[in-house]
């Protein structure tokens, strides 16, 4: 007998004891999106590879090491999306979603992403993200609104100790000035750098700031704020002033650069709780030149993404509520094989009335069926045998109080709804 096939490394099944938590978070995410005026976009899971190599940056770890890329039957290079922002911008440009001179287009989506990286707690090779983007505005108040959206999402989910970590990464006008200073400093410490940072030095030196191994060297690096142009400095001040006015706690972290090349000006993360590296629940920032990098017009934009695995991990660690676990309203118990069609008809009526109902199909005895009814979490057991069917009644048992009474068949749905608190 051949060995059973297992799932690939780095992916996992979201099983029933957890999937209801995902449904809860996705429902809250949609609720926040609607309240803040975002419209949902469902993007394709794969795109032309060029979208990510040009949009995300061909010197990023994502493009160099982590993308799932293949050649399709038409000879085209296709990549499973490693993130959603580039696809959202592609969709915006392709379908002309913006209104020139108007407010930004507020777009959101959710779905699986794919990156070939080392699996660890809260990080997988297939992972789900929530994505919120405001496309088409250069106003720093839009940065504030996006951060406000993230904070309100996590606050709605019950997370504690929410804090924004923020930085400016400059723009194409002032970043080269900082890059020159940073490279000069890092070359003076070249022999002390890890191998990864040595390889990044000429291609993408800002990524060295994010290194966990060379943090002592990074601590002495030049301050990016000394190199910001007036526009970037004023933009950053307007964002932090807005956060202060709204009472949103923030910390400036001058080493925060994010792992994507398209960021300009604002870069931020939101942290929750005291889980160290695991406490970051979303990341985002402004990306004013992404559209141009993929062949579109100039479209200043800002957004953020949150990984569902990480969000649910933090919620579990903090004891946040996911609402009520799924449970039946009624379980139909039929001890008489001759009355099974009557029992199925009753179950169908309960379901049509909007109630969650199930029944036994294994032909087990009364005791076993009642045990299953209790284990299902149902509020009521509807007992229907041949005698009850002949008399047009159903024995409805309140499984919370262990009380039972016969109810006319036409009133069973109302009685179950009452016991389930659904009236």
Question: What pLDDT was estimated at residue 277?
Answer: 54
Looking at residue 366, which CATH number applies to its domain? 3.40.50.800
The token duo for 206 is 């800002």
Question: What pLDDT was estimated at residue 2?
Answer: 80
Same domain, 314 and 334: no
- The answer as to whether 6 is a domain residue is no
Tell me which residue range forms the domain holding 105: 16-174+228-318
Query: Is 270 within 8 Å of 64 (Cβ atoms)?
Result: no
Last residue of a domain, one of 293, 318, 343: 318
Same domain, 130 and 273: yes
Question: What pLDDT was estimated at residue 103?
Answer: 87
Give the number of C-alpha atoms closer than 13 A to the C-alpha of residue 61, restricted to the C-beta side. 15
Compute mean pLDDT per 10 residues along the chain, 423 residues long, and list them: 89 94 97 97 97 86 90 97 96 89 91 92 91 97 98 96 94 90 86 82 80 80 91 97 96 82 90 71 94 94 95 93 93 95 97 96 94 95 94 96 94 96 78
Query: Is 173 within 8 Å of 323 (Cβ atoms)?
Result: no
Same domain, 339 and 289: no
The pTM score is: 0.90
- The answer as to whether 200 is a domain residue is no
Same domain, 304 and 340: no
Give CA–CA dist 252/230, Å, rounded: 18
Give CA–CA dist 423/420, Å, rounded: 8
Question: What pLDDT was estimated at residue 57?
Answer: 83
List of residues 6+ apart from 9 with CB closer than 8 A: 119, 125
Question: What pLDDT was estimated at residue 270?
Answer: 96
Same domain, 279 and 344: no
Angle (CA) 409-415-421 rounded to 5° is 155
Question: What's the total number of domains in the chain?
Answer: 2
Same domain, 165 and 22: yes
- The answer as to whether 252 is a domain residue is yes
Question: What pLDDT was estimated at residue 276?
Answer: 57
């Amino acid at each position: 007998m051949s060995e059973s096939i297992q799932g690939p490394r780095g992916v996992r099944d979201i099983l029933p004891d957890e999937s209801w938590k995902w449904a809860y978070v996705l429902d809250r995410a949609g609720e926040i999106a609607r309240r803040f005026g975002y419209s949902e976009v469902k993007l394709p899971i794969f795109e032309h590879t060029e979208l990510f190599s040009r949009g995300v940056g061909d010197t990023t770890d994502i493009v160099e090491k982590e993308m799932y890329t293949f050649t399709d039957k038409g000879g085209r290079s296709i990549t499973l999306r490693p993130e959603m922002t580039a696809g959202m911008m592609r969709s915006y440009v392709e379908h002309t979603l913006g209104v020139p001179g108007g407010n930004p287009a507020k777009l959101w989506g959710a779905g699986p992403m794919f990156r070939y990286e080392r699996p660890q707690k809260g990080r997988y090779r297939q992972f789900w993200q929530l994505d919120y983007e405001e496309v088409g505005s250069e106003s720093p108040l839009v940065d504030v609104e996006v951060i406000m959206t993230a904070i309100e999402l996590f606050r709605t989910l019950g997370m504690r100790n929410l804090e924004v970590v923020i930085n400016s990464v400059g723009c194409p006008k002032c970043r080269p000035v900082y890059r020159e200073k940073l490279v000069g400093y890092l070359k003076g410490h070249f022999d002390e750098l890890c191998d990864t940072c040595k390889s990044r030095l000429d291609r993408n030196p800002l990524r060295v700031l994010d290194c966990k191994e060379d943090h002592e060297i990074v601590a002495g690096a030049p301050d990016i704020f000394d190199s910001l142009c007036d526009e970037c400095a004023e933009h950053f001040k307007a964002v932090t002033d807005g956060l202060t006015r709204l009472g949103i706690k923030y910390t400036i972290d001058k080493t925060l650069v994010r792992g994507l090349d398209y960021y300009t000006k604002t870069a931020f993360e939101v942290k929750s709780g005291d889980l160290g590296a695991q406490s970051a629940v979303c990341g985002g920032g402004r990306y004013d030149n992404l559209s141009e990098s993929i062949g579109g017009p100039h479209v200043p934009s800002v957004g953020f993404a949150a990984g569902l695995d990480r969000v649910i991990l933090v919620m579990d660690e903090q004891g946040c509520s996911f609402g009520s676990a799924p449970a039946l309203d009624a379980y139909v118990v039929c001890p008489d094989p001759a009355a099974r069609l009557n029992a199925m008809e009753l179950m169908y009526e309960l379901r049509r009335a909007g109630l969650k109902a199930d029944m036994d199909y294994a032909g087990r005895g009364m005791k076993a069926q009642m045990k299953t009814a209790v284990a299902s979490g149902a509020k009521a057991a509807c007992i229907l045998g041949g005698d009850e069917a002949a008399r047009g009644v159903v024995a409805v048992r309140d499984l919370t109080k262990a009380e039972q009474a016969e109810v006319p068949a036409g009133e069973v749905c109302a009685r179950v709804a009452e016991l389930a608190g659904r009236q």
